[in-house]
Amino acid sequence: MLSNIIFYSLDRAIRSYRRMAQANIDRAGVNITIDQWLVLRVLLEHDDLTQNEIAESVFKDQASVARILALLTQRGLLSAVPLPHDGRRTQLRVTEEGHRILDAVQPIVNDNRKTALAGISEDELAQLRGLLERITQNCHSPV
């Protein structure tokens, strides 16, 4: 049975969460994806990261980040100001509209987390986190 396979359970958990999270954002009438939200949120605190740094911090590919940034900019949630000291890069600033969306989404995200983790204690959460970290570590070690 697939349900015995831990990675199937993992996949199911994260996908269930993503579906619920996105559905709740959509229902609130906010037009953003959770991945875009995640990137935008990182940029709120660090506006001078390279795409690779952003990618590392949200555990995505540089190519994915590039496309997400393009969409965020195109939708006016982000502004890209050329950096004087490096012609390849830009400073990525969250716009007014971007702030509005971040503000609108934050409570939804909090609710989502509460819903998803209902009935799970702090101890269990810590254990879960620890196990996930170990799996991540194991998968990174070069064979």
Partner DNA sequence: AGAAAGACTATGATATGTCATTGAAGTTGC
Partner DNA sequence: GCAACTTCAATGACATATCATAGTCTTTCT
| Token pair listed for 118 | 């209902």
Q: Which of 5, 10, 28, 70 binds DNA (CB under 7 A)?
A: 70
Site stretch for DNA (CB under 7 A), options 19-27, 97-105, 106-114, 123-131: 19-27
Site stretch for its own copies (CB under 8 A), options 68-76, 81-89, 99-107, 110-118: 110-118
Rounded Cα distance between 53 and 93, Å, is 15
Least Å distance between CB 113 and DNA?
17
120 binding DNA? (CB under 7 A) = no
Crossing angle of helices 96-116 and 6-27, in 10° steps, is 130
Task: Look at the chain and count its residues.
Answer: 143
Tell which positions 3-62 bind its own copies, by CB under 8 A. Answer: 5-17, 19-20, 24, 42, 57-59
Backbone angles phi, psi at 20, to 5 degrees: -65, -45
| Token pair listed for 90 | 């830009």
Query: Quick one: 67 or 79, whose CB is closer to its own copies?
Result: 67
Determine contact, residues 22/33, Cβ cutoff 8 Å. Answer: yes
Which residues would be at the binding site for DNA (CB under 7 A)?
15, 18-19, 22-23, 33, 35-36, 50-52, 60-64, 66-71, 85-90
